[in-house]
């Protein structure tokens, strides 16, 4: 499966408070969180983003607190994946745990402009900029992590594995 969508650019050190402001942390409703995704960085983002679109950022994306609300807000806003120079470590784990694919590529983060149409192949790590007719390399997502993403996150993945084991033992 490839991800394709329009690029939304953000700078360096986008923290989890910018991704989902603390005033919305009183809910764990994914759809409600999505309505406020990135609104402090770009107040119109929740209304402008379309399913499949891609966030592109500079270094240290997702720094700050360890809240899972941040990648959940991004995923449920319709963003198919995030590309950045680097990610904060806890955000990196939380993103995969909830099924949000992320890709590290300093080259792509520099070259992509807001509005560019992108296509990302998670297996190869190839990012195609369809607008500029350029390609960049990201670190490919390992197969088992692609399975976690396909299952909708770690909970779905574990549920699938447990279900398969139950069937085998019957």
| Residue position matching structure tokens 């986008």 | 14
The domain of 24 spans 3-168
Q: Tell me, what CATH number does 9's domain have?
A: 3.20.19.10
Domain count, the chain: 1
Could you read off the pLDDT of 108-160 as tens digits, one per residue? 999 999 999 999 999 999 999 999 999 999 998 899 999 999 999 999 999 88
Q: What digits encode the pLDDT tens for the residues 48-103?
A: 999 999 999 999 999 998 789 999 999 999 999 999 999 999 999 999 999 999 99
Which of 167, 144, 123, 27 has its CA nearest to residue 35?
27
- 142 three-class SS: coil
Query: Under DSSP, is residue 121 helix (H, G, I), strand (E, B) or coil?
Result: strand
């Amino acid at each position: 499966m490839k991800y394709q969508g329009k690029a939304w650019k953000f700078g360096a050190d986008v923290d989890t408070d910018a991704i989902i402001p603390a005033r919305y942390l009183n809910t764990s409703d994914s759809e409600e969180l999505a309505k406020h995704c990135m609104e402090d960085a770009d107040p119109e983002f929740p209304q402008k983003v379309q399913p499949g679109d891609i966030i592109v950022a500079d270094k240290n994306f997702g720094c700050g607190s360890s809240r899972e609300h941040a990648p959940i807000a991004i995923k449920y806003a319709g963003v198919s994946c995030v590309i950045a120079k680097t990610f904060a470590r806890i955000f990196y784990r939380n993103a995969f745990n909830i099924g949000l694919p992320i890709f590290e590529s300093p080259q792509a983060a520099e070259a992509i402009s807001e509005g560019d149409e992108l296509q990302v192949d998670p297996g190869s790590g190839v990012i195609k900029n369809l607008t500029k007719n350029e390609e960049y390399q990201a670190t490919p997502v390992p197969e088992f992590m692609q399975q976690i993403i396909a299952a909708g996150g770690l909970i779905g993945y574990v549920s699938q594995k447990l279900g398969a084991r139950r069937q085998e033992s019957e």
